[in-house]
Structure 1
Amino acid sequence: MQTIYSDVKQFRGSHYDFGYQQGLDLKQAYILQNRKKQWNIRQPRFDIHETEVKRIVQPIAPGIWDELCGLMDALQWQMVDILKEFGGYRLEYKKSGCSIFTSSDYMIRNYDYHPKTYEGRYMVFQPNDQGYATIAPSQRITGRMDGMNEHGLAIGYNFIHRRRPKDGFICNMIARIILENCKNAQEAIALLQEIPHRHSFSYVLLDKNGESYIVEASPRSVYIRTDQVCTNHFENLVEENRHHLKDSKRRQQTIQEETNATTSAYEAFKLMNDSKRGVFSTKYKQWAGTIHTSGYFPKQLKAWFALGSDRDPVIFDFKKWLSGKNFTIKQVIGKVDTSLPFIHMERI
């Protein structure tokens, strides 16, 4: 069992300034040193062409392109290297888990992945140039693992497979683009139907209207359905599923069986976060261990967050933050049952 942390990063201003500040922070962090070592070990299975990526990204997310420019200037890198590390387009993705449970009032999500990919950055950003304010943990710096925006749109995603990829955005950048550009689930669905997908993922959406949608998205097709529970298989695009679905269906059944008895958000959070309830995973070596549990409340504009199992959530009042009151908490601390190193905490 080891203690881990996630830094709470708050920023109000332009995307370029946000990117520049992140670049300065990253110069002092372990993350980029460890990523460089990872790139030296494995060759990327994709190509980066700056003009093409700019052509794709700018019309959809011009602010994020400005953020990438800020990172480039602060780190003094070439843009091709910025896009390889932070661009969120045409990047490879390894297997992972993840489980999501929604009601009309909340979304609770377990983020399951490998510790050496976890950045430990909980980002709260209010842009003054374009796009909506967001609260979310980061992935690959510019992407988001799950999150909520100022209009109460919440999103989480679950891995399906990475076979037969096509040119397109990866999951964490798609989540970021959705949060910054869409007010509600219907707008998000429209964008998910339009945007190019590199891999196959389920995107779970919840907004202030209380309707939960699951968007099954692959490089070849997109299907929309409504449901409260989502794990790591498609219900409709079944031809896209992996062959081994036993654990995904077990977690889905476990959550479904508890649904009627789960009468409060706290009970739902404990169902997902309790190490003895069958949803929280300790398969860290298999790239599928639960690192954090998130909760989003679109009607209240509150976010819950916990690292590791058997924790009470840290509660963030995003509505107050939007009015100008910064959070006093600087770090969320938790414990995970693994000795594997985390990319933001030590040199790997």
Structure 2
Amino acid sequence: MSDRMQLNWRAISEAEPGPVWAELFGEYWPDYHRWWLRDGAEARPGYLDSVKALQEYMPELVPLFEQLCALAGGSDHAARFLSLYCPPPYLSGCSQAIWPGAEPVLVRNYDYSPHAFDSLILHTSWQGRTVMGTSDGMWGLVDGMNDAGLAVSLTFGGRRVVGDGFGVPLILRYVLQTCETAKEAGEVLKRVPTHMSYNVTVVDAKRKYLTALMAPDRETILTTAAVATNHQERVEWASHARFTATVERERFLLQRLTLHVEPQEKFINSFLRPPLYSTAFTQGFGTLYTAVYRPRKRKLDIHWPKARWELHLDNFQGGARQIFTPVHTV
């Protein structure tokens, strides 16, 4: 059987951190605070350790972090949360691929719980760099693009290991704030530690791309893979792999990129159907959206089965959308 679930999406722009972001923080903070406290405050690093880690690995973001902490009210818990250093672990699905045509295009499905999702596209010009992407953690991003034509996206890497490092949405924010090319992004992804395993795919306006296989317990591997799902070089968490069909989704995408290259629109539309598209929200998480990043056009198209939203980095038009997503019920 199938039903429908309503998602209330927003696209919001604020050039510099200010009252708009502060209002958003006030709205989302109660839920984020409960999530951050789920293992107790003592399970999370203290303020000094969190700031020290930011200063060591992402020093360019420290002034921005301090601005956001002040706007958030300056509490100890808010500041430690905003550092996104060693946050509680979380899992997702996701598929992403680089379409191999003349125009570089990054296509991704984000599979996650709708109850832990911001449903927010954030457009900012923080520190002189314009960035647009799907918000997570109040200033992190699960995918995004900057004014240099660099686009980036993440998938969960399919491993149980948790270690000392940052939540990957903040690492994506850092990449987009400080990098202009895929090569520069790869250097950052090799250097900054992550608290869980993730695959991060990057493409720039010159069609250079890479996928970084990040993990908290081993060195990041930079690959030329154009496809990433929810495992890394091999499946290491068999039950998760079966549940998410990560191998099947990877094979499906590789076939479309290598055996019979499809027109761009047909390739994008394949993300809106099984096996890439999931409606299994009652079992944990399903596909919340399909994002199509076009770095040369500096444009983001968000797709759903019966809706589409076009957003332009240089002429960003905010607003709201009510989206009805199919849900499979047993």
**TM-score using structure 2 length:** 0.87
Give 2:176's match in structure 1, choosing from 175, 179, 183: 179
| Displacement after TM superposition at 1:42 (Å) | 4.5
1:54 to 2:56 alignment: no
Q: CA RMSD of the aligned region, Å? A: 2.5
80-89 or 68-77, which moves further after superposition?
68-77
| Residues 161 and 197 in structure 2, CA contact (< 8 A), matched pair in contact too | no
Partner of 1:258: 256
Instruction: Give the Cα separation in 1 of the matches to 2:283 and 2:236.
Output: 18
| Displacement after TM superposition at 1:287 (Å) | 3.3
Q: What amino acid maps onto 1:2 in structure 2?
A: M
Q: Which runs of 5+ in 1 are unaligned?
A: 341-348
Q: 1:93-104 residue pairs with structure 2 within 5 A?
A: 93-104=89-100
Instruction: Give the Cα separation in 2 of the matches to 1:232 and 1:269.
Output: 19
The CA deviation string for residues 230-285 of structure 1, in whole angstroms up to 9 with x for no partner, is 101112xx4x82123231001112222333555333222211123xx321012223
Partner of 2:12: 9
Give 1:86's match in structure 2, choosing from 74, 82, 88: 82
**Identity over aligned residues, as a percent?**
19
Partner of 1:343: none
SS in 2 for 1:73: helix
Q: What amino acid maps onto 1:337 in structure 2?
A: P
Give 2:224's match in structure 1, choosing from 223, 226, 240: 226
Instruction: Give the Cα separation in 2 of the matches to 1:45 and 1:167.
Output: 15
Instruction: Give the Cα separation in 1 of the matches to 2:32 and 2:284.
Output: 17
| Displacement after TM superposition at 1:177 (Å) | 0.7
Q: Which runs of 5+ in 2 are unaligned?
A: none
| Displacement after TM superposition at 1:133 (Å) | 1.4
Instruction: Give the Cα separation in 1 of the matches to 2:36 and 2:140.
Output: 19
The CA deviation string for residues 6-48 of structure 1, in whole angstroms up to 9 with x for no partner, is 21111113xxx34x53123333x2x223334445655368422
Partner of 1:346: none
Instruction: Give the Cα separation in 2 of the matches to 1:25 and 1:225.
Output: 37
Instruction: Give the Cα separation in 2 of the matches to 1:142 and 1:49.
Output: 20
SS in 1 for 2:157: strand
Partner of 1:117: 116
Instruction: Give the Cα separation in 1 of the matches to 2:285 and 2:115.
Output: 12
SS in 1 for 2:48: helix
Partner of 1:25: 24
Instruction: Give the Cα separation in 2 of the matches to 1:53 and 1:229.
Output: 33
| Displacement after TM superposition at 1:180 (Å) | 0.7
Instruction: Give the Cα separation in 1 of the matches to 2:153 and 2:41.
Output: 26
101-110 or 262-271, which moves further after superposition?
262-271
Q: What amino acid maps onto 1:175 in structure 2?
A: L
Q: 1:125-136 residue pairs with structure 2 within 5 A?
A: 125-127=124-126, 129-130=127-128, 132-136=129-133
Instruction: Give the Cα separation in 2 of the matches to 1:289 and 1:115.
Output: 8
| Displacement after TM superposition at 1:164 (Å) | 3.1
Instruction: Give the Cα separation in 2 of the matches to 1:94 and 1:45.
Output: 18
Change (3 A) 1:113 1:37: same
Partner of 2:322: 333
Partner of 1:194: 191
| Displacement after TM superposition at 1:310 (Å) | 1.0
SS in 1 for 2:238: coil
| Residues 304 and 313 in structure 1, CA contact (< 8 A), matched pair in contact too | yes
Change (3 A) 1:47 1:272: same
| Displacement after TM superposition at 1:208 (Å) | 1.4
Q: 1:61-72 residue pairs with structure 2 within 5 A?
A: 61-62=58-59, 64-72=61-69
**TM-score using structure 1 length:** 0.83
Structure 1 moving runs of 4+ over 6 Å: none
Instruction: Give the Cα separation in 2 of the matches to 1:45 and 1:163.
Output: 22
